[in-house]
Amino acid sequence: MGRKRTKSGKIRLAEVAELAGVSPITASRFFRNPEALSVAKRARVESAAKELGYVPNLAARALASQRTEVIGVLIPSLTNNVFSDVLRGIYDASEGSRYSIQLSNTRYSILQEEKLLRIFLAQKPAGLIVTGIDQTAESRTMLEAADCPIVQIMEIGPNPVDMMIGFSHYDAARAAIAHLFAQGRRKIGFVGARMDPRVQRRLDGYVSAMKEAGLFEQRLVVTTATPTSVTLGGALFTDLLAREPGIDAVFCANDDLALGVLFECRRREIAVPEQIAIVGFNDLEFMASAVPTLTSVRTNRYEMGNTAATMLIEAIDGRRPEQPVLDLGFKVIERQSSSSRRSDSRPALSGAGTANKMIALPSSHD
């Protein structure tokens, strides 16, 4: 009737309250803390809201409450498969919660990250997820001064800003090399692209393992700042072969490179694993399907994103985790590409099928 309406005809909380026969503030409480209402009023407000199709105005809520329900996420790349999985975990965890995700791409630049952080923080996010542990000093200061929970993801390191979830890329690389040693490989090359901090730590792990075995040689390492790709894997491997034709294994900083190395081997008619073993990193879905199947280091990417967002939301709601730093670990998934020379010189048909079953990863869904 004479009911006041916003020009656009939107339903406001006041309308809901009027229909429910309560004050606006009571209706407001229904949405934030239903338990505070009596059962009768709760039902009345609920049905009134449903009847009118009420949707809260987030801008008004943010302005009045001096905080937003936005979780900021800073990741270095949108195309990297690794981050797709992490993101999916984050988005899945945010659904059903009242928080929404605001995503920004730092493009592997900590300066860009600092800039984005400043913008995010100005909007008072409810929480923040940042990638890695290599922020600028300025970023670090801002993060520590921020009055919202923060999760650092992708790796584990000392001095967490707040919470931290990831794994040790250094240890993972060492485990991969240990695996190759166990298979009798000695002259192991390293192939890496992009060389972001995490790839760098994988290289560090490789170097330390090789040095411990007295096998390290600088010319076994081929890296580039160029973004990774399958094609690049072949090119870097070609470089590696030119420098050191006698290698008997290649540890690739990621699976795309490993696939490129595999294709290059096929092109050069180098037998895998007989002549050269290949180990990748991340255990993307295709690794179990390749011929031969490719060994990789499995990382829990989906779980990392999902747990990070879940922990963050819990912390925002005042339930801080008992364990603020979580190591999700890794696992070397041994497949044909790095098996000992003596066993199956030709991969058995059934081998692939078995391997496929072994790696039914959550990250292969969706």
Partner DNA sequence: AGGAACGTTGACAGCGCTACCAGCACCGAC
Partner DNA sequence: GTCGGTGCTGGTAGCGCTGTCAACGTTCCT
Q: Are 101 and 157 in contact (CB under 8 A)?
A: no
- Count Cβ atoms within 10 A of the Cβ of residue 44 and give its class: 0-12 exposed, 13-18 middle, 19 or more buried: buried
Q: Identify what 85 binds: its own copies, DNA, none; CB under 5 to 8 Å per kind.
A: its own copies
C-alpha 203/C-alpha 257 separation (Å) is: 14
- Residue 277: phi, psi to the nearest 5? -90, 150
Q: Which residues bind its own copies (CB under 8 A)?
A: 6-8, 10, 55, 57-60, 62-63, 66, 68, 77-81, 84-85, 87-88, 91, 100-103, 105, 107, 118-119, 122-124, 227, 229-231, 233-234, 256, 259-260, 263, 266-268, 285-286, 288-291, 347, 349, 352, 356, 363-366
Quick check: 100 binds DNA (CB under 7 A)?
no
CA dihedral (103, 106, 107, 108) positive or negative: negative
Q: Are 278 and 272 in contact (CB under 8 A)?
A: yes
Shortest spacing between CB 46 and its own copies, in angstroms: 18
Residue 14 or 103 with smaller CB distance to its own copies: 103
C-alpha 185/C-alpha 62 separation (Å) is: 59
Q: Identify what 14 binds: its own copies, DNA, none; CB under 5 to 8 Å per kind.
A: DNA
Question: Structure tokens of 151?
Answer: 């999760």
Q: Identify what 40 binds: DNA, its own copies, none; CB under 5 to 8 Å per kind.
A: DNA
Indicate the residue type of 34.
Answer: P
Quick check: 56 binds DNA (CB under 7 A)?
yes
CB burial readout 315-329, b (16+ within 10 A) else e: bbeeeebeeeebebe
Q: Identify what 322 binds: its own copies, DNA, none; CB under 5 to 8 Å per kind.
A: none
Q: Contacts with DNA in 2-41 (CB under 7 A)?
A: 4, 6, 8, 10, 12-14, 22-26, 28-29, 31-32, 35-38, 40-41
The count of chain residues that interact with DNA, using the rule CB under 7 A, is 31
Q: Are 253 and 279 in contact (CB under 8 A)?
A: no
Shortest spacing between CB 20 and DNA, in angstroms: 9
**Interacting residue with DNA among 47, 50, 51, 63 (CB under 7 A):** 63
DSSP-based three-state secondary structure for 282: strand
Interface residues with DNA (CB under 7 A)? 4, 6, 8, 10, 12-14, 22-26, 28-29, 31-32, 35-38, 40-41, 54, 56-57, 60-61, 63-66
